[in-house]
Amino acid sequence: MATIARHGILFIVSGPSGAGKTTLSDAVLRIFEDLELSVSYTTRPPRGHEIDTVDYRFVSGESFDAMLAAGDLAEWAVVHDHRYGTPREPIERAVAEGRDILLDIDVQGARQIKKLYPDAVSVFLLPPDRATLAARLRGRGTDDDAVVRRRLDNACREIAAAPDYDFMIVNIDRDAAAAEFEAIVRGQRRAVARLRPQALAAFVRRFEAEP
C-alpha cells in the first residue's frame, strides 16, 4: 500500500492542559519520522524552555491581526487570554503533497478544522480522573495557584467536548497512550478513501490478466 500515492492526513490532538498532550505528541513524532508538527502562531509570551519557530511562532497582537485579515490562519482561538492560530498554507500544502501533519490545538480550533477539512482525524486525550488532572497541573510548577485553579476549571469544561471527537485516548500510561495514537495513525494511513483514485486504479490494473 505504501507505494500508492495518497493525500496527506491532518491529525488533531486536543485535551485539557495536564492531560499530557505535549508528551504524547513528542512520543508520536518520534515514532513517525514522516509526521510533522504544525507550528502555531501565538500572542502568548514564550515559557523558559520554548524556542521560537519550534514550539510556536511568538508574535505580537498586531501581527496576529494582520494574519487574520490576510486569511493566513486556518483556525484560531483565544485560550487562557491569549490568541493561538494554525497557519493555513503549510497544512494545505502537506495534504496536497501527501504528508501527514499533527495539530496540537484546543477544542474551538478542532471544531473549525473539522468543518474546513472534514477528512481530518481528531483525537481527544483525557486524564484518568479529576484528581490526577489537578495533581498534574500543580506538579508543573510554572504557574501560580490561581492559574492552576483556572486551568482546572477550564480543563473540566473542555472535557465536555470529548464526545465530538473521532477518537478518545485515556492517558493512564504514557507508553500505552502513545501506542494507541500510533495505531490510529497506522489505521488511517491504510484507508482506501485517502488514496489518490488514479494511483489506486493504476495499482489495481497491474493485477489484470494479460490479454
Binding site for ligand 5GP (CB under 6 A): 17, 40, 44, 75, 77, 79, 84-86, 104-106, 108-109
CB of 7 to ligand 5GP, least distance (A): 22
Q: Read off the C-alpha cell for 38.
A: 504544525
CB of 179 to ligand 5GP, least distance (A): 21
76, containing H or E segment: strand 73-79
Q: State the pairing for strand pair 10-14/100-104.
A: parallel
CB of 181 to ligand 5GP, least distance (A): 15
Helix then strand then coil, in percent of the chain rounded to 5, is: 45, 20, 35
Tell me how crowded residue 141 is: count the other CB atoms within 10 A of its CB: 7
In terms of CB distance, is 100 or 106 closer to ligand 5GP? 106
Of 42, 85, 79, nearest to 158 (Cα)? 79
CB of 199 to ligand 5GP, least distance (A): 32
In terms of CB distance, is 8 or 40 closer to ligand 5GP? 40
In terms of CB distance, is 75 or 180 closer to ligand 5GP? 75
Cα Rg of the chain (Å, integer): 19
In terms of CB distance, is 6 or 136 closer to ligand 5GP? 136
In terms of CB distance, is 140 or 186 closer to ligand 5GP? 140
Instruction: Report yes or no: 139 and 23 within 8 Å, Cβ to Cβ.
Output: no
Q: Closest residue (Cβ) to ligand 5GP?
A: 109
Q: State the pairing for strand pair 82-87/73-79.
A: antiparallel
Q: Where are the alpha helices (DSSP H) in 140-196?
A: 145-159, 174-189
